[in-house]
Structure 1
């Protein structure tokens, strides 16, 4: 298990090698932030209907658009396990019958990678740039991130720590897969939530969550929720965290931010396997210990 910490805006020295790892669904947080820069600049509206269907950007970002998810398809998992070439996006959408909404937009909740494929398309359509170019211009450069990149082919995963598998085709992640050091994942979230990339009203909107029920067995959340590209959950001790957990073949990642009074910390944890609860528990432990040490004037190394 590897981890990286940012406390009070200061990256702490890493105890592990600076491996590049797949960011899995933390990529959604980056996509959401990119889309919100378009809102900031007056190029799109959070609550205007989109060409892809009778839903809004806010509903896409919060998984309230009524869309299905290709993770529901058994043939998807079988094709990935057989190391087949990824289907085209059009083929995937047809297999999923994606135009048939599963509930009225805004009236329900359902985690959907398809929704973030539509966010990707919105970003490219609005900026006239490729996704990677738009991310570089609107997120990576402003936040000072230099080692994160978009993986589009198996060659792009050369040198990336994949956990319990040897090969994977990132084309199976239809909204895009970012890879980079854990240190940059922690920095990305910390600078996004504590910096001035987004105005206060959009940062507040980004962190306004739909509450999704009670405790999740085997995981630290007692009041889980989902905001705009951010998981936001409360713990048993009353602490609230926001960030994102992600999982893919062979590994899991959790990247979260905690504010305690005026003190803040962000933590990214990566591990081989599929135990999201274990890395979330480690993330909670690292954040609590780091903020306690910072309060005592002795930041952790």
Structure 2
């Protein structure tokens, strides 16, 4: 397993791997941070309706907008399994009947990659930049994160541990798929949640999670919730982790941070051919071990 550990802002992993790995849905946390920088700068309000839509930015970020997701389409899974090229955005939206909201915004919860595609479009509209430029200028560069980019073609994934075994078209991730070293994923989350990009008030909003109810079988969560582009949940021992898990064909990434009094730690891990629960459990174990070492003065 590739992993990177940060304790109290200091890297703890000797020579962390600089292999480029797909960040999968951890990309959502980066997009959320970029969108919240727009709120910070007064370009949009969290609770203002998105232009020409019935939902707000907060509802989009927290998967409460009423949107469906292409992951529910059997033909999507079949096409990905067959290594087909991604549908055009228009075709995907037509197949999903995306304009038909599944519930009234704010009244329910449904994980939606489509929502984050709309967040990407909003970022481009408000910044007059491409999504790549906006993410770099507003989130990655300010946090000192480097060597991270959006995968656009199959060739962009050939330098990852998936290598030539994967013939996945990253265009299937309609909100964009970041690729980068696992160490940079840990740096991004640690510095973001340390307050290096957003004011305390927005960080509190980001981490105000909607409870999703109880434990998740096969995963370490005792209680799971979702904030603004972050998964947040409690694990055994009463600890709370904040970050995001992502998975795609053949691999899983999990990036989480723990904060307990004067001690904080952040761990990112990536593994091919693993379950979400296994990678999350590894990360949780690493983070709890750091806290115990600090408590015991080791």
What band does the TM-score fall into relative to the shorter chain?
A: over 0.9
Q: Does the alignment pair 1:184 with 2:184?
A: yes
The aligned counterpart of 1:18 is: 18
For 2:86 and 2:30, the matched residues in 1 are separated by 23
Deviations 1:34-84 (A, max 9, x none): 000000000011111113520000000000000000000111111111111
- TM-score for both structures, normalised by structure 1: 0.96
For 1:58 and 1:129, the matched residues in 2 are separated by 22
Q: Offset of 1:221 from its aligned partner?
A: 0.6
Change in CA separation of 1:188 and 1:110 when aligned onto 2, cut-off 3 Å = same
For 2:24 and 2:82, the matched residues in 1 are separated by 20
Deviations 1:254-286 (A, max 9, x none): 000000111100000111124011111100111
The aligned counterpart of 2:220 is: 220
Quick check: 1:165–1:250 contact (8 Å CA) kept in 2? no
The aligned counterpart of 1:7 is: 7
SS in structure 1 at match of 2:35:
helix
- TM-score for both structures, normalised by structure 2: 0.97
Quick check: 1:45–1:57 contact (8 Å CA) kept in 2? yes
The aligned counterpart of 1:249 is: 249
The aligned counterpart of 2:234 is: 234
For 2:14 and 2:181, the matched residues in 1 are separated by 11
Quick check: 1:253–1:279 contact (8 Å CA) kept in 2? yes
The aligned counterpart of 2:77 is: 77
SS in structure 1 at match of 2:54:
strand
Q: Offset of 1:163 from its aligned partner?
A: 7.4
Change in CA separation of 1:164 and 1:257 when aligned onto 2, cut-off 3 Å = farther
Quick check: 1:267–1:286 contact (8 Å CA) kept in 2? yes
Q: Offset of 1:153 from its aligned partner?
A: 1.1
Where do residues 1-301 of structure 1 align in structure 2 (5 Å cutoff)?
1-14=1-14, 17-51=17-51, 53-162=53-162, 165-298=165-298
Q: Offset of 1:155 from its aligned partner?
A: 2.2
Q: Output the aligned Cα RMSD.
A: 1.4
For 2:33 and 2:88, the matched residues in 1 are separated by 26
For 1:157 and 1:192, the matched residues in 2 are separated by 26
For 1:106 and 1:164, the matched residues in 2 are separated by 43
Give unpaired runs (5+ residues) of structure 1: none
Q: Offset of 1:297 from its aligned partner?
A: 4.8
Give unpaired runs (5+ residues) of structure 2: none
Q: Offset of 1:198 from its aligned partner?
A: 0.3
